[in-house]
Amino acid sequence: MTPVSDPSSFSTVSKCATKHLNLIYHVDFDKRVLKGKVALTLEVLEDKFSSLTLDSKDLKIFKVSANGQAAQFEVGTKHKSKGSPLEITLPFELSRGQHVIVEIEYETSPSATALQWLTPTQTVGKKHPYLFSQCQATHCRSMIPCQDSPSVKHTYYAQVSVPKELVALMSALHDGQVPDPSDSSRVIYRFRQPVPMPSYLIAIVVGALESREIGPRSRVWSEKENVDEAAFEFSETETMLKTAESLAGPYVWGQYDLLVMPPSFPYGGMENPCLTFVTPTVLVIAHEISHSWTGNLVTNRNWEHFWLNEGHTVYIERMIARCMESEHLRQFKGIGGWKELQESVNQFGANNVLTNLVPNLHEVDTDEAFSSVPYEKGFALLYHLEELLGGPEVFMGFVKSYIQLFAYGTVTTEEWKNYLFTYFKDKVDILNKVDWNAWMHTPGMAPVKPKYDTTMADACTALCQRWVKAKEEDLASFTEEDVKKLNSPQLIEFMALLLQEEPLPLSHVKKMQEVYQLNSVKNAEVRFRWLRICVRAHWEEAVPLALKMATEQGRMKFTRPLFKEVYNFSKYSDKALNTFKENRGALHPVTAMLVAKDLKING
């Protein structure tokens, strides 16, 4: 494995490698902290080893020991986004191949960026508090002092003490629960993760949770008020898992549970092993299931190679759509993805190096670097290669082989490319014609736009152009029949196309509401785009609706653009700022940080 440093981590991954974590947590809702003890089993990688550096962020470190002997430690200067290096000096020297158990007693901060603590009023049930984590990309270090780099993979065991009226879940297999011997009002939940995984996939949730069985290896979890509806929504999970296995190989994680998150969860989903987190706005989990292979089994070496996780996951996700629905749907999703890529390039700017497929992340906050680029420029590259090398079955054969080769390990873009050339050794002449530098190390849109089939998209394009070209006298020609011919993905695409045009006149948007009744649509993907179309047309009645959606749920895919849209409507810039400030405390810490930057609020 070629040594590749991790610009997003302080940890000394060349000196030692974490093989196992043993975690003991006491969850304190009153103080909003995790009182923790972690035992890291480290393998020594160098000849003389007597010190190491771990990642930490806003942790109170009380005590460090190595093989039971007290060890010196120092928390270094805090970095603007990477947290603080935790320097540890062992009381003895070890050599290559030996193991050492480093134990650390610590406490997290109430403002730990990996954690969101919800009051009972912020939950559906309104009776109990709620805690959930989101570690990707570099927030595990605010929850555990560790080697917080995806280049390191380890198993873990955890014991979590919580008030006995609550349930704890983690990204691992359940290993039972016992009363807390030190406090009869608490219970200890036990978890075991036998498959080596990177720290960003450690996840915890504590709340008044219930579950329903939805398959032979799957349960869906949520607050009890939502659990029956969730069981219905995700009834196809086993079918989707089997389809993914037929494409990518065996599912190695054992259990595949789903946790329906509170509305403030900042992403559509998070592929935590054994327990995918999904927001209520997400109805399709093919992406998260696909991560069980690309991302969780084969993992990017560091975050500059994030496209390997996401590009391949989107490719498998869309192959599942091809298998379960149609090739036309896969093509249609490719067209939609190209638009998402265009939006990210427009947001960052076509010359911004963060739109490189493989960006340089030195001194870059990964949360600020996050966009659709690794997903959709990554997918476009893989689809382009599929077109060149023989079609979907041929290229999926490569993807399955790539997964088998790099399973349980980590990979860089160079290693991926070398294997691509090896696998297609009789098509090297074709591969040498690909402009790799343009695809990987150049900002802006992908150098080649795949030739997608437009069968499902044509109706969307036609309706969009009718509205764009319509004059006042043409507005009477629009009727509710226009959208009855469109399914939900097509309605979303129609609105995404409108968002790529100049803002519609206010008269057009009011007519659209009159004939299509879009204000009453609950589908988040539709509502999100509809409200942006209205605010861009300066329809003032839409402003409170946009801010309501921006604050009632916290998925950044929706919250950030909605706040920005209102902020850009100059008459309502202050309204956007004040609404954000009023709601800031209830937002996820990363969401709050990024919206503040979007609205140009310092501190």
Ligand X SMILES: CC/C=C\C/C=C\C[C@@H](O)/C=C/C=C/C=C\[C@@H](O)CCCC(=O)O
Task: Number of residues interacting with ligand X: please give it, by CB under 6 A.
Answer: 16
- 134 is annotated as contributing to ligand binding: yes
Minimum distance, C-beta of residue 79 to ligand X, in the bound complex (Å): 16
Q: Which of 223, 233, 288, 376 is catalytic?
A: 288
Query: Alpha-carbon distance 211 to 240, whole Å?
Result: 20
Residues 6+ apart with CB under 8 A from 126: 120
Residues 530-589 close enough to bind ligand X by CB under 6 A: 555, 557
Active site residue 375: yes
Give the 3-state secondary structure of residue 500: coil
Q: What stretch of H or E contains 301? A: none
Minimum distance, C-beta of residue 475 to ligand X, in the bound complex (Å): 35
Using the rule CB under 6 A, give the single segment among 162-170, 361-369, 408-416, 489-497 that binds ligand X: 361-369
CA dihedral (577, 578, 581, 582) positive or negative: negative
At 206, the amino acid letter reads: V
Minimum distance, C-beta of residue 253 to ligand X, in the bound complex (Å): 17
Judged by CB, which is closer to Zn ion: 150, or 207?
A: 150
Active site residue 288: yes
Residues 6+ apart with CB under 8 A from 138: 8, 9, 55, 81, 82, 83, 148, 200, 303, 366
Using the rule CB under 6 A, give the single segment among 256-264, 368-376, 430-438, 566-574 that binds ligand X: 368-376
Residue 557 site contact among Zn ion, ligand X, none (CB < 5 to 8 Å, cut-off depends on kind): ligand X
- 310 is annotated as contributing to ligand binding: yes
Closest CA to 159 of 130, 180, 145, 141: 180
Binding mask 366-385 for Zn ion (x = CB under 5 A): --------------------
**Residue whose entry in the numeric block shows the structure tokens 């993992």:** 299
Please report whether residue 369 would count as binding ligand X according to CB under 6 A.
yes
Using the rule CB under 5 A, give the single segment among 210-218, 311-319, 445-453, 512-520 that binds Zn ion: 311-319
Q: b/e string for 531-557 if b means 16 or more Cβ within 10 A? A: bbbbbbbbbeebbebbbebbbebbbbb
Minimum distance, C-beta of residue 374 to ligand X, in the bound complex (Å): 5
Minimum distance, C-beta of residue 80 to ligand X, in the bound complex (Å): 16
Please report whether residue 366 would count as binding ligand X according to CB under 6 A.
yes
- 291 is annotated as contributing to ligand binding: yes
Query: Alpha-carbon distance 171 to 103, whole Å?
Result: 22
- CB 143, CB 132: distance < 8 Å: no
Q: What are phi and psi of 498, to 5 degrees?
A: -60, -35
CA dihedral (131, 276, 234, 454) positive or negative: positive
Judged by CB, which is closer to ligand X: 353, or 448?
A: 353
- 76 is annotated as contributing to ligand binding: no
Q: Which of 106, 130, 375, 383 is catalytic?
A: 375
Judged by CB, which is closer to ligand X: 85, or 374?
A: 374
- CB 450, CB 334: distance < 8 Å: yes
Using the rule CB under 5 A, give the single segment among 22-30, 230-238, 308-316, 564-572 that binds Zn ion: 308-316
Minimum distance, C-beta of residue 46 to ligand X, in the bound complex (Å): 28
Please report whether residue 270 would count as binding ligand X according to CB under 6 A.
yes
User: In terms of DSSP bridges, do strands 16-28 and 33-44 run parallel, antiparallel, or are they unpaired?
Assistant: antiparallel
* Cα separations in angstroms, 465 against 459, 469, 471, 504, 533: 10, 6, 12, 11, 15
The site for Zn ion (CB under 5 A) is made up of 310, 313
Which residues would be at the binding site for ligand X (CB under 6 A)? 136-137, 267-270, 303, 306, 359, 366-367, 369-370, 374, 555, 557
What are the catalytic residues?
A: 288, 375
Binding residues for Zn(2+): 287, 291, 310
